[in-house]
Amino acid sequence: MELLTKEVLYVVGGIVGALIAFLIIRYVIPCLKVKLGDSKLAYILDYVTQFMSAIEENGGGMTGEEKAEWVIDRIIEIFPNLKREYVKALIDGSMRALTQAGIINYHKENIGL
């Protein structure tokens, strides 16, 4: 029974995560494009990607939430007028693409390093 509950919660968590990613990609990022402009958003997303890559490589014992906070702090240092919620949305929206590209959430033992 406990195993079934864990599997159901895992599936529900995956569905909720996919829904959140969809909503961010569908509504938040276009809203930010309008508010910030495409070139500035691309510039900020580039920084988000770089910082996420850096903390993934060097953030050893940190949790995912601590890594996200570190990235948000670095972005806010560079762009002090941005709201934390916007930066968090950019991080959440970037997670899937960066994970699929192998930039974040990779395991060195799985790639032979």
Secondary structure of 46-86 in HEC code, one letter for each residue: HHHHHHHHHHHHHCCCCCHHHHHHHHHHHHHHHCCCCCHHH
Residue identified by tokens 């900020």 is: 44
Q: What is the pLDDT of residues 49-83, one digit of tens each?
A: 888 888 888 877 888 788 889 999 999 999 998 88
CA atoms within 13 A on the CB side of 40: 12
pLDDT in tens, 85-112: 888 888 888 877 777 777 676 544 444 4
How high is the pLDDT of residue 26? 79
* pLDDT exceeds cutoff 80 at 9: yes
pLDDT value at position 44? 86
Looking at per-residue pLDDT, the higher value among 27 and 102 belongs to: 27
pLDDT attached to residue 105:
64
